[in-house]
Amino acid sequence: MNKKLNPASCAVDYAFQRIGGKYKGRIIWYLNDNNILRYGELRRIVQGITPKMLTQTLRELEEDGLVLRTVHHEVPPRVEYSLTETGKELLPFINHLRVWGEKQMKLEGDTCY
Amino acid sequence: MNKKLNPASCAVDYAFQRIGGKYKGRIIWYLNDNNILRYGELRRIVQGITPKMLTQTLRELEEDGLVLRTVHHEVPPRVEYSLTETGKELLPFINHLRVWGEKQMKLEGDTCY
DNA sequence: CTGCATCCCGTCTGATACTG
DNA sequence: CAGTATCAGACGGGATGCAG
């Protein structure tokens, strides 16, 4: 478990500490269900992320038991990431959030960016 | 709309930008459904928040159209906060997250903090 | 290919004090 | 009561270079 978590004042607080952050939601979502992605694939898919942040975020997700990291000892090395059962339980939530986000983005039109 | 939003790479990214942050989830949750809370009430309920952060977060939620701010011109002043329809649409998801959080907290036991 | 080490900077967050 | 002002520190995040 991620030691950096602060004492949570309630379950909502706790949950946001665990999946908050700039990239965690997207990474979990891209890893949806039985999708297995390699480090390099994630780097391409999660637009704008730097290697450092990708590694750091994946480590936190791993510590938190949401993501499984599998190292294949080959040359060149291959590292695959997938969701744990606990991580998969978050998918419905993120999916609903995504649907909400899409709706909101349409309502905005071009006036925002 | 909050001008600080960055161009979103996808709807998940977008949604997390809008409800991410240290206190937004909790504030929305405490403002559930037809709950109307005053500034001082929120300050007590959202444990650990400072006046500055509470004001700042409420302003962002207001700019983002998730929270409604109603000023009653009285002495002493009274300002009430409630969810907009858009904000209410987020409640099921936050509740889902809360349930997940509660489950996880139980699994952890006392080993974490 | 998959990372880690380092340096650096801007933003976010907090403590404290003050005001209409 | 409902904030604002100011200061300072912590932290997130990016750029670059190196390693197994």
Summarize pLDDT for A24-69 with one digit per residue, the tens: 999 999 999 778 999 999 999 999 999 999 999 999 999 989 999 9
pLDDT higher than threshold 80 for residue B68: yes
Grade residue A113 by pLDDT with cuts at 50, 70 and 90: very low
Nucleotides on chain C that have an atom closer than 7 A to a protein CB are 1-6, 12-17, 20
CB contact under 8 A, B14 and A86: no
Query: Quick check: pTM over 0.85?
Result: yes
Q: Nearest residue to nucleotide D13 when comparing alpha carbons to its C1'?
A: A53
Q: Among candidates A37, A14, A10, which has minimal Cα distance to A26?
A: A37
Judge whether A44 is closer than 8 Å to chain B, CB to CB: no
CB contact under 8 A, B26 and A15: no
Largest interatomic CA distance in chain B: 50
Which domains does chain B carry? 17-108 (1.10.10.10)
Which of B7, B15, B113 has the CB atom closest to A100's CB atom?
A: B15
Distances (CA, A) of B33 to A15, B28, B37, B85, B92: 20, 9, 11, 9, 10
Grade residue A8 by pLDDT with cuts at 50, 70 and 90: confident
